[in-house]
Chains A and B, each alone.
Chain A
Amino acid sequence: MLTMKSLKKVYRTALVETHALRDFSLTVKAGDFAAVTGPSGSGKTTFLNIAGLLEEHTDGLYELDGINVAGMNDDQRSALRNEKIGFIFQSFNLIADLDLYDNVDVPLRYRGFPKAERKRRIVESLTRVGLGSRLHHYPAELSGGQQQRVAIARALAGTPKLLLADEPTGNLDTVMARGVMELLEEINGQGTTIVMVTHDLELARRAGRHVHMVDGQIVDIAETDFARLRAA
């Protein structure tokens, strides 16, 4: 599903060069639930941005679902992102002026689905996250956990192959966080590949794979292998 080989990302300003990713290699197979952890500044977010085609890498290979994304222009990347990837953000990133229905509709419109198709997908995905009865409520009327469910519904509505979650429980209390995590596991169980970036090691341990980053590189895979063994 996701193959990165010797990936480099360098941020250049007039004064300094920052190596956010150095020789980063990772493969995530279809159906995996991978967690990426690491301290602040370890390159988690850069990894996520590159994986989600929000940024371009400087050097190395990145294939998403078998497609080499190097050299794609902005529109191609947007289209690919829209089709293959669903995003879940730490602060939900819902549009406050739009109700739940219209929020979930946003990526579907960019996909160019006909109206009936969009409607079916919106109702289906909001129902799937347990908010099927609140289509025309506004985000401000919901709890944080519910808002994140809306974001998940928005990510799922386009039936992406890969779900990228950025600290999905970071802004939630423990009870809500657990609910969201269970939902993600359920989704993974139904076949969607998930890559989750988090600083919460406890949460990461629940994932199928655990990747730890320090200074733009993966430092320890053994622990995740161990965890997988334990899960089995």
Chain B
Amino acid sequence: MEIAPILKSLRKNPVAGLLISAQIALTLAILANVLFVVTERVATMSMSSGVDEPNVFTFGSQNIGNSRVPVDGTLADLEAINALPGVIAATTQIGVPMGQSGWQTSITLKPEEQTEGPERVAAVYMGGERLLDALGVKLLEGRNFRADEVTPWMSGDQPKPPVVLISKALAERLFPGESALGKMINITGDPGEPAQQVIGITDSLASPWPRSRNPDRIVFVPLRPSGSTSFVVRTEPGERDRVMAGIEEALFAVDRNRIVDGIRDFEAIRDNAFESDRSMAVVLSAIALALLAVTAFGIVGQASFWVTQRTKQIGTRRALGAKRSDILRYFQTENALITLLGIAAGSALAIAVNGLLVKYLSFGALPWNWLPLGALIVLVLGQLAVLGPALRATRIAPAIATRTA
């Protein structure tokens, strides 16, 4: 309604308004990118592991010296843990989802196929026939390993099993549009005739490196890590903390000559995997809030000054017939115009900033819909910030107009 005269008035004294616009522009540019990165990180952090998280924990056990035969010792350990009340399944393992360490390999389907490149990379999960149970991962098709197919594995051994399980995502990648069941694949990383038969396909689960490019491509091999190694245990619901607390004593009961360490529940594993994402999300959110607060303060301060400066003018407008709502709307419109200018500049800036982030820091490209969202936030922020001073302006008595000096 009153846009034209407000614009003219702003153009007459542009600096203060432009300072606010510039602030809005920078705020929007930062906000849009920060919001985008934070949401991306939050999405990454809440990625599914495929594991029965509330009931799973892991730990490591190291034998000291050569007091026991590694393979037999591990079997004795497993027997003891699986016999504990509340335990559903336990196994030694190399590689658990989000665990940050493990093996990966390239998979080929023909003897002379190129093996390198990220497209065929899959994580290798070792563990016995109980691994699926110990993680709480479902088998979708085919069958699990039989106990007699599982062989002991010692550090340095090369996995060349006759049978493997693969995750749904890997199955779809290797054999799009057909069943992977019964197919032969080569997981050794060396050229050669595929010698591993796919006997089962598991539900989706994450690789040890959830931030890698294809974190859902997994191949399970029927090898039981033995000697000094890691374990994964899944318990009945609600039993985990009790089992965790007693695990060291249970193992000492089998053999005292060892170190049990790194006992951590799945929440700790997940926290560790996403530590940088979480801290980045927290830090950026804090900055975004501080930024909004500072910008709002700036608007409040500027608007307060304008109200003081224009007391006489406002009284005159009231005397000439302006309603209180007209005064309120004047300040709101003025703020909206300043903000819109900031939004226009800020949108361009946001895209430029994102361009830099993409080019130099390999961040994701800002989807277009974040700009309107950011713009909406700064618009609402501006309107809220100007509300206090504007309401004060509406309370200026029209009789001010007849006061001299």
Contacts and interface: CB of A to CB of B under 8 A. Distances in A.
Please tell me whether chains A and B touch each other in their complex, using a CB distance cut-off of 8 A.
Answer: yes
Interface stretch (A92-100, A127-135, A179-187, A218-226): A92-100
Nearest to A78: B323
Given A97-B12, A98-B5, A49 B399 contact: yes
Interface stretch (B36-44, B178-186, B249-257, B314-322): B314-322
B312 interface: yes
B321 A110 contact: yes
Contacts of B321: 78-79, 81-83, 107, 110-111, 158
B317 A49 contact: no
Interface string A165-199: 01100100000000000000000000000000000
A83 B323 CA distance: 13
Contact of B8 (A48, A55, A82, A102): A102
Contacts of B326: 78, 110
Contacts of A105: 5
Interface residues of B, number: 28
A117 interface: no
A170 to B, nearest CB: 8
B405 to A, nearest CB: 8
B325 interface: yes
A98 B9 contact: yes
Interface size on A, as a range, is 35 or more
Contacts of A98: 5, 8-9
Most buried by A among B5, B321, B398, B402: B321
B313 interface: yes
Contacts of A99: 8
Contacts of A170: 404
Contact of B402 (A78, A81, A89, A95): A89
A148 to B, nearest CB: 14
Contacts of B313: 93, 95
Interface in B96-136: none
Contact of B322 (A78, A90, A102): A78
Given A55-B397, A75-B324, A87-B401, A93 B9 contact: no
A164 B99 CA distance: 84
B361 interface: no
A106 interface: yes
Contacts of A91: 404
A49 B401 CA distance: 9
Contacts, number: 90
Interface in B1-17: 1-2, 5, 8-9, 12-13
A82 B316 contact: no
Interface in A94-124: 95-99, 102, 105-107, 109-111
Most buried by B among A54, A96, A102: A54
B1 A54 contact: no
A89 B321 CA distance: 15
A96 B324 CA distance: 22
A106 B324 contact: no
Nearest to A155: B320
B404 A109 contact: no
B323 A110 contact: yes
B402 A97 contact: no
Interface in B353-405: 397-399, 401-404
A81 B8 contact: no
Contacts of A75: 323-325
A98 B399 CA distance: 22
A82 B320 contact: yes
A100 to B, nearest CB: 12
Contacts of A154: 320
A170 B402 CA distance: 12
Contacts of B12: 96-97
A216 interface: no
A97 B13 contact: yes
A110 B1 CA distance: 10
A159 B323 CA distance: 19
B312 A93 contact: yes
B320 A110 contact: yes
A91 B316 CA distance: 11
A78 B13 CA distance: 29
A52 B320 CA distance: 10
Nearest to A93: B316
B319 A81 contact: yes
A194 to B, nearest CB: 16
Contacts of A106: 5, 317, 320, 322
B331 to A, nearest CB: 15
A97 B323 contact: no
Nearest to A110: B321
Given A52-B319, A74-B324, A109 B401 contact: no
B401 A89 contact: yes
A52 B398 CA distance: 10
A58 interface: no
Nearest to B322: A110
A102 B5 contact: yes
Interface string B285-327: 0000000000000000000000000001101111111111110
8 contacts: A49-B402, A52-B319, A54-B399, A54-B402, A75-B324, A78-B324, A83-B321, A97-B12
Interface of A: 45, 48-49, 52, 54-55, 74-75, 78-79, 81-83, 87, 89-91, 93, 95-99, 102, 105-107, 109-111, 154, 158, 166-167, 170
Given A81-B319, A98-B8, 9 more contacts: A49-B402, A91-B404, A93-B401, A102-B8, A106-B322, A107-B320, A107-B321, A110-B323, A170-B404
Interface of B: 1-2, 5, 8-9, 12-13, 312-313, 315-326, 397-399, 401-404
Closest 3 pairs (CB-CB, A-B): A82-B321, A97-B9, A93-B316
